[in-house]
Structure 1
Amino acid sequence: MCGSKDSKVLMTTRSKNLSEIPKASNLWVLNGLTLDVSWNMLKKITIGKDTSVVNKKFESIGKRIANKCRGVPLAIRALGGLLQSKSEEREWINVLQGDFWKLCEDKECIMPILKLSYQSLSLRLRQCFAYCALYPKDWEIKKDLLIQLWMAQGYLDYTDEKTLMEDVGNEFVKIFLMKSFFQDAKVGEDGDIVSFKMHDLMHDLATQVVGNDCCYLDRETKIWVQRPIHVSLEPNAVHLLDSLDASRLRTLILLSSNEEEELNGDELLVISKFKHLRVLKLSHCSLSKLSTSIGKLKHLRYLNLSHCRGLGSLYKSISSLVLLQTLILTPKEKFEFSTEVVSKLINLRHLHISNWEASRDERPSEFVKLSIWKYEGMVFSKWLSPLTNIVEISFFLCGSLQHLPPLEHLPFLKSLHISFLEELEYIYYEQQDFTSAFFPSLESLTLQFCDKLRGWWRMGDDFNNTTCSLNLSLPPFPRLSQLSIIGCRILTFMPAFPNLENRLELYNSSVETLVVTLSTVALESLNDFPPLSMLKSLHIDGVNLDVKRIPADWMQNLTSLQLLQINWFSCEAFQEIETWFKDDLKCLPSLQTITFHNCEDLQALPDWICNFSSLQHLRVYDCINLVSLPEGMPCLTNLQTLEIIGCPLLDEECQAKTDETWPKIRHVPMIILSSLH
């Protein structure tokens, strides 16, 4: 109905019967992979990239195993994951001669192969995999959320006190991806896994092994007679909640909803009967009648109330949820929340709060919108102190917060995210000599759009004495790997970050923090390793960038940099930063990708990009006046991809293959052009 003329529909299916229903005009039956391709795939999975060292006996057995997979990639990947842990010839022979092959022939399916791979997992890995049957097929599973759910069920409990459950969960995800239980992983710019999916046959396997303990409910589900332990449901199936056995239920997840389908309190009141819940996730609901009952669900480990209304006096009862590990409150409307409540959640590991308005209660351990010196005896530093297990803290749109309490002593804090705190002025610290560890575990720090944030300030110092704290040098972050500073224009005083490895973003902010990091003080702390020498990804913009404050030779430090993104630079700014790259053929030896974005008055790309002999990918986005490329472009012999998007003038030049432009880029294997972004 909406296709253009001569459009066609392509349908894929594993069922011959299903292919006959639409009366397809053309039917292609795809053959499986050839034996050579199958064996090469199996080799790479079991042995690794260096497949030349495979033992001849193993090769003979492996080829016969690959042949039995009948060219089905999923079967090959599943058995490859199984054989990775088997180094004895007898173990490979056992797989070759296994009884499951007979089942594959009888049922004409690969499920027995997948089940064998599942049975080779440890008990904890089996639990974690089976739990994924909660999700519908083809669901994009968020990694961090899934790990938090595993934690809540006790699947990641670990006897080694030095090993974080989150680290165990990340290792499990990597194992599942390696063994093809998960696939289609999305990776963030920092290299960390963000999400993934399950092949629908793997989902069938999870559903099969978990039995009736996990279920997904939607409008097609009839009255539920089984007694599931873990339930996920669509909003249109909320009427089935009454039929669940409250004594068995441990997980309740409302998968998706929206403003138009907002559920009311009457529909959700039944949740108050689920006394043994460990996981409760709701979204786009009105909780006016349920909010006071949530505090009675004393076994909760995971509580996520996203885009909900009517939280009311939730904070008065939530302090009894002392087993909580993850608390996510992102309501549609402002709500009162007391820091005293947070201080009682002694097992809390992940905290995300937005739209928070401080409680107006006058108890001194709670925030009110005030400056700290106005209230004598206010124990401002204590509200986060009991949270020694905290791993992640996120504040968003908490307009009343002017100061944050000391955080540097929290032993397991790995991620701190602060966004849109318009009144925030300082983050306090209280250590005097820093003999103990300073932010010992912090790996990711995000400071976004905090217009009044000046930096770290020592508790007890006189605010009117602007040099008192500034004269005291803070130690550098020991493990910080990712840092984003966006829209913090007066941020000048914070710990240095010389060990930064994954990513640095500096947008519309003061360069003072970067200058401090590049100073000799930071250099001495690294035992002769230049600051930022391990950094892989750098993103900077020209808005309020005081280039003259940055040392001209600082790029020489960035020997590990692989990605450089330059945003919102004017022609004048490009001229000012030319000294960073000029006549230095060894500059940025590891650089693979450079991106220019929204440099609106730039007419020609700078010549210095031709110094990057290792460059493989050049991206140019939304540079509307850009019309020419450097003469030295042919020198970029390793350049594999050139993207020119939203640059109409240069796009026209490239499309026309003019004598001025085409000789510069014709050596590039892949050129992507579009005048519109």
Structure 2
Amino acid sequence: MATGIVISVAEKLYAVLHSEELREICSMFGYESELDDLKMTVFTIKSILLDTESKYQELTHGGRDYIERLKEAVYDVDDLLDEFNTMVQMAKSKKGGKLSKKVRRFFSRSNQFVVAYNMSHEIKNLRSKLDKIAKDCQQFGFSDVYVPLKRREETMSFASEDNIIGRETDKEAIVGMLIRDSECSNDVDFVTIVGIGGLGKTALAQLVYNDSRIEKAFDLSLWVCVSEDFVVEKIFQKMLGGKDGSKIEELQKEVRKLIQGKKFLLVLDDVWSESRDEWDSLKSFLNLGGTGSRVVVTSRSKKVARVAGDNLMYELKGLSEENSWNLFKRLAFEQGKEPMNSNDRFFDIGKEIVKKCVNVPLSIRVVGSMLYDQDETKWLSLKSANLMEIGQGDDCIMPILKCSYYHLSPALKSCFSYCALFPKDFFIEKVLLIRLWLAQGCLENPHDSRSEVDVGEEYFSILLHRCFFQDTRKDICGEIKFFKMHDLIHDLALEVAGKETIIFDSVKEKFDKRIRHFSFTGSGCHLLASFSTHLSEMKKWRTFLRVTDWMSVSLVKLDLTTICSHLRRLRVLYFDESISETLPDTVGNLLHLRYLDLSRNIRLKVLPNSITKLLNLLVLNLELTGIRELPYDMRKLVNLRHLCLRHCFYMTHMPPGLDTLTSLHMLTRFVAGDETSSQGKIGKLRDLRALVNLRDELTIKFSDKFNCDVAELEEVELLRMAPLKQLAVQFSAQGAAIHETLLAGLQPHCRLSTIAIEEYRGFKLPAWAESLTISLPHLVTIRLENFDCLAILPALSQLRHLKFLKLKGIANVEFVESDGGVVPSENQITFFPSLEKLQLCELPKLKGWWREERSRVMGDVGASSVVLPSFPCVRELVLRRCPNLKAFPSCPKLISVDLMDCHEALSVLENKTAVPNNPTTGLVLHLKNLTIDNVGALDCLFGESLGCIQQLSIEYFEGESLSNVAEKYARYISSVENMHLHNCANLKSLSGVVNHLTSLQSLTIMDCKNLELENNEQGVNLTLWKSLHLLSSLTLCRLPKLSNLPKGFQYLTSLEYLDIYSCENLEALPKWLNCLTSLQYLSIGCCDKMKSLPEAISHMPSLKTLNLFHAGEDLKKRCSKPDGEDWPKICHIPHISFEF
């Protein structure tokens, strides 16, 4: 194993060796034969690497060392040829982009021996080295011919129901699908059970197959174990009881005779084929069965379900915690019963072990069986062991999971292996991952009109459908943004990536000379201790990645000069929020670099021009930086695919020549500057014309001094950018006429899904913007913000795909639509048929949705009946600073409300406008989330509907106490799980509130300047805090009256996360801090009066992370390693971050 990523390197290397440019250069110096020999050697090595995967675990030390030498040589050749090709590109860029006699002169004049001879000589030496290693392959049992893996053992239809726990609900669901009457055609229906390896898909199918109801419902039941051999002939043979030797025609006749006219059930177990042709050839015969016939398929691929038939797919999940424990205790304890004494050590250790098994039955069975009749030492050993290393042979977890990996193509194996750089339970950004794959050469070059990004999307989709990825999060347009890997799948990624990949998350981690791909988590402070002393081991790194989410904070500034000087082979350098105002010139030395991420470095204002030497650069991310301008020579980065300038608010113009970067697929921001006074030193708006491949998003920002040139505007032609999905136009201080002209000339392609217009001063919209249902019928998102003059908005309610609408700062609008109150006719679209999120903010004149509410006579309904449509799908509503709003459509499916300074609007949210004969109970029946500034309005607005509230945010509350509110709504707020109190200046106490928050899991209190969490004079009962027995997260920020943590906090035994920030009078953490037995994360910032840490912190074994930042000198001195007085108290904590 452990050859995952290098396989793609070998694949790419083989392709590079076939390039015409490389052959032309080699022919100049007579090294064509060396190049041909190297091709053959690399081809042989590709096959050897593939062959080693299945044999890696059984290898001797010498065999594994051989593989490492082989990989090392492949990387060295790749680095050499990449450097060689980069020099060719440099020569081409200087000589007009052509290989010619000038290029020969470039290589042959003063540096003939330095460049040409040395380079070709190195190729010859490396080829000899590769040849020697390749010839040694048979010594270790490897072959240069790839041999497929042995098949999984055949499954059978019988299973003892007593041995299967926790699948009763799943069985009932599948049986229900099989025996219910089909609403489809007479074709056979398919039910596919999908899930990762080890979940028990086969066992579930066996339970279903042997159910008595199935026997009664079907005339015939058949079981076929398919595995890798999806061959119709073999499937027929197994359907006929294993009949062998017959020709396919004879088999077809017998199968026809067996099933024709009969209602049958066929189970196809462990199917891998995703070929529609193979499935169609089988289905044509299965459709001969009687009406109601069913086929159950078990597979690890969701694509199998789609190809087999889109009828029904059942995604199998892990066991519940209760059933996981029941299965474990049946296997691990005598007579299947847990110890009578709940304090028994085996009970506690067992619970921890089961938690590691992440509810996967196979893991639990393997571990439970091994622990039966073992002593405590063995139990403790397995508790701390890697789950993937437990068991042997068929009783091991890893081989089952590896089956999915072995079925991937070499490129997909590399892509999956690279995922090992992300920690467990981490939401990975899909776009980021695809760009990293691109940078490492994991994506095959498309041979059609598709781009590399399209290939990356395809690879992601395959891995998702084969259950390598899960828990996807989508944006409003339905695009997947984030995903996770199951813990066992993550273990598989670590296994196949081997020593090449490391997640450095502790000061105890050690560097390995075999590391090629390096990531670190958290703040990075733990990295500094090891960084300077291991530079020699780091020189061959290809990835340097800081893994963060948007909520994390960087507390360390790493030395980029050192990195650029020593890590010369980097392909990926990801340094978000970790550098100061400048980037060193030496960044231009990273000739292999494909991906450079400097996002969230808000102090970074200038990029050195040396960055334009990075001719291989594919991705440059400058999101949320302070960049004022891009280097003048950006046009040299001819390979650039993605230039992310999202939220770069300080940019004044673009550099000239961007129209030459025709490979650009993403340019998130284009700033149109003052072209008249620039004398050709800045880019022009017409440069966008050449960038027809732009996709995803584009923001066009007009600077204050931009002068409108109608001729130039006509050249832009956004209508030609069909792949573009999102367009934002941001205006500046020009007059109304200029704004109207500019917007008229920026009509996008009709396939656009998102449009945003900001700071528009025109009195009217251009024709294309006034008729969005015609010009942009596929819109999913609309944002219109800060319109000073516009009084009439375009018609929006008939946009059938619109899901998100935001109107903000439109000063003169009194009504959203000019007419309304009309029941749709038969040929009209439903009122906002897809709208899910609606935000109306800072609309001072807004009175209602419709200018006039007309009525329609329907049958016997009187003419005076006002018929107002409601929002059928709106789930999230934001109304902020709309003081004159007095009428509003009802929202019967609302689950989230945010109200701010809309006191007059409260009454309109009652359901007084429902359509006759279609009664609803108002917008709050399903309400889960509520943000409000007027707590007193809770009664008139929501009444007893508060019983469903899970998240409650109270902002700018003007009362002195919440006690009265809490008492009144005690039985309703008991359901609140997340509570946020912000800027409640007069709030003095939480007494009378805490005891009602029995479901609370997260509490955030910010900017409440008069709040006292503990007031001894009031004699507050300390045990009140016991009510928060589920609280796991607590944030206290800017609370000037907080001098000590309340003594009642010691009862918060479920608390895992505690963040205290800018509480200027907090003097110390309490002596009882270790009573917080579940605390894992503790962060203290900007609490200047805190001088030391309590002794109790040394007795907190569960504490994993300690962040201390912007603390005083006394605390800094006491916590300094190794002589600080408080250092012994905290040295046991794995992750410690400081910034003083």
Shift of 1:491: 9.2
Shift of 1:33: 3.0
Equivalent residue for 1:122, pick from 367, 387, 409: 409
- 1:563 matched residue in structure 2: 836
Q: Give the SS at the match of 1:598.
A: strand
The 1:64/1:544 distance shift into structure 2, 3 A limit, reads closer
Q: In structure 2, what is the Cα distance between the partners aligned to 1:117 and 1:170? A: 19
- 1:620 matched residue in structure 2: 897
Q: Give the SS at the match of 2:457.
A: helix
Q: What does 1:91-102 correspond to in 2, within 5 Å?
A: none
Which residue identity does 1:394 align to in structure 2? T
- 2:662 matched residue in structure 1: 388
Q: In structure 2, what is the Cα distance between the partners aligned to 1:476 and 1:61? A: 41
Deviations 1:341-366, CA, capped at 9 Å, x for gaps: 2222122222124668779xxxxxx9
Q: What does 1:276-287 correspond to in 2, within 5 Å?
A: 276-286=569-579
The 1:270/1:390 distance shift into structure 2, 3 A limit, reads closer
Shift of 1:287: 6.3
**Is 1:540 equivalent to 2:807 in the alignment?**
yes
Q: In structure 2, what is the Cα distance between the partners aligned to 1:420 and 1:652? A: 46
Q: In structure 2, what is the Cα distance between the partners aligned to 1:174 and 1:440? A: 23
Contact 2:836 2:875 in 1 (8 A): yes
Which residue identity does 1:485 align to in structure 2? I
Deviations 1:190-210, CA, capped at 9 Å, x for gaps: 222221222221110100011
**Is 1:291 equivalent to 2:568 in the alignment?**
no
Shift of 1:113: 3.0
The 1:358/1:607 distance shift into structure 2, 3 A limit, reads closer
- 1:67 matched residue in structure 2: 203
Contact 1:141 1:196 in 2 (8 A): yes
Q: In structure 2, what is the Cα distance between the partners aligned to 1:326 and 1:445? A: 21
Question: Which structure: greater helix fraction?
Answer: 2
Equivalent residue for 2:555, pick from 244, 249, 261: 261
- 1:415 matched residue in structure 2: 696
Equivalent residue for 1:225, pick from 506, 512, 527: 512
**Is 1:405 equivalent to 2:654 in the alignment?**
no
Contact 2:791 2:813 in 1 (8 A): no
The 1:505/1:436 distance shift into structure 2, 3 A limit, reads closer
Shift of 1:503: 0.9
Question: Which range moved further: 210-219 or 623-632?
Answer: 623-632
Shift of 1:671: 6.4
Q: What does 1:41-56 correspond to in 2, within 5 Å?
A: none
- 2:170 matched residue in structure 1: 37
Q: What does 1:506-655 correspond to in 2, within 5 Å?
A: 506-509=784-787, 532-541=799-808, 543-546=810-813, 552=819, 560-563=833-836, 565-568=838-841, 573-575=846-848, 577-579=850-852, 591-593=872-874, 595-600=876-881, 606=887, 608-609=889-890, 615-617=892-894, 619-623=896-900, 625=903, 626-627=906-907, 629-632=910-913, 635-637=918-920, 641-642=926-927, 645-647=930-932, 648-653=935-940
Contact 1:582 1:608 in 2 (8 A): no
Q: In structure 2, what is the Cα distance between the partners aligned to 1:41 and 1:259? A: 47
Equivalent residue for 1:347, pick from 639, 644, 647: 639
Deviations 1:530-569, CA, capped at 9 Å, x for gaps: 9845434322246325357965479967664333514137
Q: Give the SS at the match of 2:450.
A: coil
Contact 1:483 1:504 in 2 (8 A): yes
Which residue identity does 1:142 align to in structure 2? E
Q: Give the SS at the match of 2:954.
A: coil
Q: Give the SS at the match of 1:295.
A: helix
Which residue identity does 2:485 align to in structure 1? M
Which residue identity does 2:557 align to in structure 1? L
Q: Give the SS at the match of 2:805.
A: strand
Question: Which range moved further: 471-480 or 120-129?
Answer: 471-480
Which residue identity does 1:546 align to in structure 2? V
Q: Give the SS at the match of 1:609.
A: coil
Which residue identity does 1:66 align to in structure 2? T
Contact 1:308 1:332 in 2 (8 A): yes
Shift of 1:384: 1.7
Shift of 1:574: 2.8
The 1:636/1:386 distance shift into structure 2, 3 A limit, reads farther
Q: In structure 1, what is the Cα distance between the partners aligned to 2:582 and 2:747? A: 49
**Is 1:477 equivalent to 2:749 in the alignment?**
yes
Which residue identity does 1:153 align to in structure 2? Q
Which residue identity does 2:618 align to in structure 1? Q
Contact 2:443 2:455 in 1 (8 A): yes
- 1:13 matched residue in structure 2: none
The 1:357/1:510 distance shift into structure 2, 3 A limit, reads closer
- 2:493 matched residue in structure 1: 206
Deviations 1:276-298, CA, capped at 9 Å, x for gaps: 22111113334689611111112
Which residue identity does 2:940 align to in structure 1? E
- 2:136 matched residue in structure 1: none
Equivalent residue for 1:237, pick from 527, 533, 544: 527
Which residue identity does 1:446 align to in structure 2? A
Q: In structure 1, what is the Cα distance between the partners aligned to 2:697 and 2:193? A: 53
Q: In structure 1, what is the Cα distance between the partners aligned to 2:432 and 2:186? A: 40
- Measured on the aligned residues, the alpha-carbon RMSD in Å equals 5.3
Shift of 1:160: 3.5
Equivalent residue for 2:780, pick from 502, 511, 515: 502
The 1:616/1:142 distance shift into structure 2, 3 A limit, reads same
Shift of 1:413: 0.9
Contact 1:357 1:398 in 2 (8 A): no
Shift of 1:636: 4.7
The 1:644/1:253 distance shift into structure 2, 3 A limit, reads closer
Q: Where in structure 2 are there 5+ consecutive unaligned residues?
A: 1-163, 208-268, 287-294, 301-361, 367-390, 677-682, 859-866, 956-1140
The 1:61/1:491 distance shift into structure 2, 3 A limit, reads closer
Q: In structure 1, what is the Cα distance between the partners aligned to 2:641 and 2:720? A: 19
Contact 1:651 1:675 in 2 (8 A): no
Contact 2:840 2:882 in 1 (8 A): no
Q: In structure 2, what is the Cα distance between the partners aligned to 1:214 and 1:491? A: 58
- 1:522 matched residue in structure 2: none
The 1:311/1:564 distance shift into structure 2, 3 A limit, reads closer
Q: Give the SS at the match of 1:136.
A: coil
Q: Where in structure 1 are there 5+ consecutive unaligned residues?
A: 1-30, 72-78, 360-365, 368-379, 456-464, 519-529
Larger Rg over CA atoms: 2
Shift of 1:670: 5.6
Equivalent residue for 1:440, pick from 706, 711, 722: 722
Q: What does 1:144-223 correspond to in 2, within 5 Å?
A: 144-223=431-510
Q: Give the SS at the match of 1:593.
A: coil
- 1:305 matched residue in structure 2: 598
Shift of 1:268: 5.0
Shift of 1:385: 0.5
Contact 1:42 1:80 in 2 (8 A): no
Which residue identity does 2:782 align to in structure 1? L
The 1:541/1:129 distance shift into structure 2, 3 A limit, reads same
Q: In structure 1, what is the Cα distance between the partners aligned to 2:702 and 2:818? A: 31
The 1:587/1:211 distance shift into structure 2, 3 A limit, reads farther
**Is 1:676 equivalent to 2:949 in the alignment?**
no
